[in-house]
Each structure stands twice: as C-alpha cells, then as structure tokens.
C-alpha cells in the first residue's frame, strides 16, 4: 500500500470510528491467561503490508495468530475487541521517563548526577520509578516500551534500560547502553573543571576505554591471584570494549559525530548515535561504519547552537541512505519532562517518510536498534502481545489512542 492510499484508508476508518469506537472501553480488565481476538479494520503488523479487516489472536500474553479475518480461526472462548486501526505498541527509542518525574522537583529528578564527569557504573534500573505519572501518561498514547535512563549532560552519565510501561518489573534489558555526551552538552560547567573542550572530552573517553581494555585483560589472567579486585566502573568499561554493551553517544555537531566514529574504530566498540542533528552531513561515513541513529525529536527547539542544522527531513534522508533510524521523545529540562514519540513520528511522516516508514521508526526499527525485536516491534506469532488502538490515522492530531494492551492485558482504555 502506498502512502496516499494508506492515508486515504485511514481517513475512511476515522470517519467510521465516530460510531464504532473500540469495544474494550466498556469491557472488564483482561484476566490472566485470557484469550483475546483483536479485530481491526486496518492492522499495521510491521511485518508486511497492512491488513484490511484483520484479526490478532492473543493467548497467555503472546500473539498466536495474525491475518485476515476470513482466514484466522478465533477460539470459541476468546474475548473480542474491536478498533478501527491497530498497530504494535509504540517504542520510544530514547527518553528519561521514569527517572525524570513530572513534578520537576528535586525528589523526582534522578536522570543526571553532576558530581563527576564519568560515571558508567550508575544503573538506570536503580533509579527507574514504574509508578511515575509520566510513564502512565505516555502509555496512554500507545507507548508500550521505553528505552530510558541517564540523560545527556555529562561525559559518561550512566546506563540505560529497556522496560515496558506496565508492571513494576517488566524489564526487557536491565542494561541496554551506556550514555555518553560529546560536544557542548558534555562539557563541565565552571572554571578549571574537566572536560572543558572537545579534545579533552574525547581524550578522557579514550582514557577510560583504555582502562577498561586493560582491566578486561587482567581479569582474564589464568592466575586468579593476579586478577585485579572487582571494580564497578571498570567492569562496565570492560563490557563495552568486549562488545557486550554499546555506547549511546549524544552528538549533534558533525565534528563530534566524527570523533565518536573514530573512537569506535580505535577500540572496536559498538556505538549508537543519539540526537545527531548534523548526521545528514556524514551519510557515507555513518553508513560505512554500520552505525544506527536515534534521531533528535523532530519538535526539539532548534535553530541555534549545536542543533542549528537540524532538519525535519533528516529521518527520511537517513532512511533513504540505508541507515537504521529510530525516533525518540528525548529529554526536556522543564515540565512535563518529555514529548510523545507518536507525535514525533507524525511530524516525520509529513517530511519525507511514508506512513509505514514513520511507523517503523517507533516500532520495529526502534526495536531492532535496541536489540529487542525478537519480543516487540511487530505483530507476529510468538511475540509479546503489545498493541495500540487508534480511532483513525495515528499521525493525525485529531486521532485518539483508544486502548493499549501490554503482554495481553488491557492497560489503558481511555481515549487520549
């Protein structure tokens, strides 16, 4: 289905939705082990073309069947839910939700520790609050998975995690990446504090990675007595140089992106570029390095400083070049502390991405970059039953998210 026909179909669905909102609104909460049959007039599986008049069957929190209603057998005991448009649960590829709270007060701001420039040992899972109101808020817009953790703002601010937006311990990855900031955002504030320049930032990062390399070598010594004592910081750095965890490098200027790629080459480590406002200036270099990009929020206030060359069309430019790209809600220093990734993808769909491509940036492509595509990101048998329901084109601002299912349980049923 091309972009024009996709939007035409979705607009027709939106008109019909006025009299046919999703039936789960009046239904009871999902029981554990209950079988669901979700009927959608349009189902975006993200594993192929959209299905018109389709059904997704869910049992024990997993998808067991997806296809046209005429060909999918619905179990006799299934509870039927209906929605004009069904998509996979949305994936926010980078945020600080759950660490940064909606009150914007000291007691709910755990996204950044400014006491030291290098703190890779800080774990997001130790600060994440699953009951934070912002988690509930973004869930209401169809966001079922967050890549969240320590914010940009220090050279190495800490670890990130991948977590579902329902449940108190629904963690897909306790540690996903380690956050690094190059450029102005990672510089120390005040006189005679390091790092004060770009060169100092990169030198400090290289020094830490070199320490991690040496620590890893010594830990592998056959003589246990010669191994160094456990060190939380060096252990994280050793895991990075071993390729276990990538660096999530927030860098907007082309010069900082180039520096990140050089460091990755030098130490043979994996990196994911974050924000990357000037990534469109380094298409060939990024593609050759095989590095994915979690792009800056499309609605981020740009035009000055390091993001002066940001563009609404960057997502389309990167995707056209064959570079894996996902979108994020990012980090806000003021209330309500986050954007909504659904709207970020909507802006991108109006600036070069087709509807399916834009949806991919907040579903399957985001899941692939985060290394969790075996569980989430598309509607396929065997995957987690995470779904979002809409009463029209998800990227139209007049459309509402009318329901959310996570692991087969209805977790939101109020139109938003």
Report the pLDDT value the prediction gives residue 141, as an integer from 0 to 100.
97
Using a 10 angstrom Cβ sphere, with 0-12 exposed, 13-18 middle and 19 or more buried, the burial of residue 168 is exposed
Report the pLDDT value the prediction gives residue 316, as an integer from 0 to 100.
97
Residues in the chain where the model's pLDDT stays below 70: 1-32, 190-192, 303
Summarised one tens digit per residue, pLDDT across range 183-192 is 998 988 766 6
- In terms of domains, do 401 and 279 share one? no
- In terms of domains, do 121 and 77 share one? no
- In terms of domains, do 165 and 308 share one? yes
- In terms of domains, do 177 and 44 share one? no
- In terms of domains, do 125 and 141 share one? yes
Using a 10 angstrom Cβ sphere, with 0-12 exposed, 13-18 middle and 19 or more buried, the burial of residue 15 is exposed
Report the pLDDT value the prediction gives residue 24, as an integer from 0 to 100.
44
CATH number of the domain that residue 356 is part of: 3.20.20.140
Cα angle, residue 370 at apex, residues 268 and 183 outer, rounded to 5° = 60
Token pair 């792009």 in the structure block, residue: 295
- In terms of domains, do 68 and 97 share one? no
- In terms of domains, do 361 and 387 share one? no
**Domain interval for residue 139:** 91-370
- In terms of domains, do 70 and 134 share one? no
The pTM (predicted TM-score) of the whole model is 0.92
Contacts of 198 (CB under 8 A, 6+ apart): 182, 183, 255, 256, 259
- In terms of domains, do 81 and 95 share one? no
- In terms of domains, do 201 and 276 share one? yes
Q: Please give the structure tokens belonging to residue 71.
A: 């060909």
How far does CA 246 lie from the centroid of its chain?
Answer: 15
Summarised one tens digit per residue, pLDDT across range 180-229 is 999 998 988 766 689 999 999 999 999 999 999 999 999 999 999 999 99
Our count of domains for the chain comes to: 2
Number of C-beta neighbours around residue 324 at 10 A: 20
Q: Please give the structure tokens belonging to residue 101.
A: 């709270």
């Amino acid at each position: 289905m091309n972009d024009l026909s996709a939007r035409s179909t979705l607009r027709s669905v939106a008109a019909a939705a006025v009299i046919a909102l999703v039936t789960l609104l009046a239904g009871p909460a999902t029981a554990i082990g209950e079988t669901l049959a979700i009927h959608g007039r349009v189902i975006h599986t993200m594993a192929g073309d959209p299905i018109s008049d389709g059904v997704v069957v869910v049992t024990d929190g997993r998808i067991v069947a997806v296809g046209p209603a005429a060909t999918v057998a619905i179990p006799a005991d299934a509870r039927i839910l209906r929605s004009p448009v069904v998509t996979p649960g949305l994936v926010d590829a980078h945020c600080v939700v759950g660490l940064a709270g909606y009150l914007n007060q000291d007691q709910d701001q755990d996204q950044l520790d400014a006491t030291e420039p290098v703190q890779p040992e800080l774990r997001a899972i130790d600060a994440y609050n699953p009951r934070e109101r912002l988690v509930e808020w973004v869930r209401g817009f169809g966001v079922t998975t967050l890549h969240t953790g320590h914010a940009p703002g220090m050279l190495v601010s800490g670890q990130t995690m991948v977590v579902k937006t329902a449940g108190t311990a629904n963690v897909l990855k306790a540690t996903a990446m380690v956050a690094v900031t190059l450029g102005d955002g990672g510089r120390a504030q005040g006189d005679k504090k390091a790092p004060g320049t770009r060169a100092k930032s990169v030198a400090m990062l290289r020094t830490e990675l070199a320490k991690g390399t040496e620590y890893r070598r010594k830990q592998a010594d056959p003589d246990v007595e010669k191994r160094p004592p456990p060190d939380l910081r060096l252990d994280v750095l050793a895991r990075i140089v071993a390729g276990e965890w990538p660096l999530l490098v927030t860098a907007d200027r082309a010069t900082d992106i180039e520096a990140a790629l050089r460091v990755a080459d030098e130490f043979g480590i994996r990196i994911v570029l974050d924000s990357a406002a000037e990534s469109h200036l380094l298409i060939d270099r990024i593609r050759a390095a095989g590095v994915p990009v979690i792009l800056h929020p499309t609605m981020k206030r740009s035009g000055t400083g390091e993001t002066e060359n940001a563009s609404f069309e960057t997502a389309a430019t990167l995707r056209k070049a064959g570079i894996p790209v996902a979108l994020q809600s990012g980090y806000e220093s003021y209330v309500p502390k986050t954007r909504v990734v659904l709207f970020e993808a909507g802006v991108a769909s109006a600036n070069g991405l087709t509807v399916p491509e834009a949806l991919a940036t907040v579903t399957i492509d985001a899941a692939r970059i985060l290394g969790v595509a075996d569980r989430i990101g598309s509607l396929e048998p065997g995957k987690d039953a995470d779904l979002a329901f809409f009463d029209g084109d998800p990227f139209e601002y007049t459309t509402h998210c009318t329901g959310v299912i996570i692991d087969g349980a209805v977790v939101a049923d109020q139109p938003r």
